[in-house]
Homo-oligomer: A and B are copies of this chain.
Amino acid sequence: MAAGDGIGSAEHLAGRRLPVVVDAMGGDRAPREIVAGARRAADELGVEVTLVGPPDQVGDTEGLALWPCAEVIDMHEDPGRAVRTKKDSSLVRAAEAVRDGRACAMVSAGNTGATMASALLRMGRVRGIARPAIATPIPRPGVAPSLLLDSGANAVCTPAMLVQFARMGAACATARYGTEHPSVALLSIGEEPGKGTPLVKETAELLADVPGLRFLGNVEGRDLLGGPADVVVTDGFTGNVVLKALEGSLRFMLDAVLGVFATDEATRRAGDVLLPFLAPLAAELDPDNTGGAVLLGVDGVCVISHGSSSAQAIVSAVRVALDAVDSGLVSRVRELAATDR
């Protein structure tokens, strides 16, 4: 049994999971919100959560176990160099805990590049996977989110990489949301197969021929939010730009509507009537609730929460990590990679 894939492991069969390890120092609001989220995850999800970080910087662990380390990788450090030089950092130690079978999954809201690099260098790639990719949930009110990948791991991609992303994304949609035969679409600038970059055109031809993959064809940017596809595939540059554009516009609109509510006494009263109805929508669109992105293709479970993660975001990310562990996501990726060889 490889590390980081709890299903079928001795611990799992005995009804006891390995702990989820949370990088206590990752994120703009670390360590307080991260520790608070880890504590709540342990309580609400009934799971063992262990922190990793320098004890003097983490401070109160709220009763959680802390694996001590000496260093922290900052949000803006160069990922490759940081992981190479800071061998006793919370991120590197978290990835090693998964690799060594002391944790079933790692969660971090820290430097995304360094999280990827730690997972990649310490857990390694799944054999046959060319490059890991980040799968980020895009909310679709009323149905399961769609997964956008790659949303930032690889700025430059090849058609073969995008095909693997499509297959890993489909496996993740099944593991995470129970979607049977998830539909997959390719992000482009027109639905016609002749539109787009050479990368898109070649990838579309390859995707149409992947056995067992339900390929819908190309979708446009407007089809992301509430669109038809369970999985949307693109290169990591486009994926990251469009993901942040969506987050920015939802935030913008929410702020604008709340600003209107605050205009005067009458609008405040009207806002009070509407808020209970708007709140579930806002919650469904809130990145703190969609639960973090999964780094697919590494040989263990690694969940990346956004940099401004609140305690609630950490609870969601731990839940995502558990879903990935319990559904055997890494095994599924291993299986699909095996058929690529």
- Report A's interface with B, CB cutoff 8 A: 76, 78, 141, 152, 155-156, 187-189, 192, 194-198, 200, 220-226, 234, 236-238, 240-254, 256-257, 260-261, 263, 266-267, 269-271, 273-274, 277-278, 281
Contact = CB atoms under 8 A, between A and B. Distances in A.
12 contacts: A78-B194, A156-B198, A189-B237, A196-B237, A221-B240, A222-B244, A222-B248, A224-B248, A263-B277, A266-B273, A267-B273, A270-B270
B224 A245 contact: yes
B249 A278 contact: no
Contacts of A234: 241
Question: Which of A76, A192, A196, A245 has the most chain B CB atoms inside 10 A of its CB?
Answer: A245
A191 to B, nearest CB: 9
A241 B189 contact: yes
- Looking at chain A's contact residues, the main secondary structure is helix
Contact of A237 (B238, B253, B263): B238
Contact of A236 (B189, B256, B257, B267): B189
A148 B254 CA distance: 23
B273 A152 contact: no
Given A156-B197, A241-B242, A257-B257, 4 more contacts: A141-B256, A242-B245, A246-B249, A269-B270
Nearest to A254: B253
Nearest to A78: B194
Question: Which of A226, A267, A270 has the most chain B CB atoms inside 10 A of its CB?
Answer: A270
A236 B281 CA distance: 33
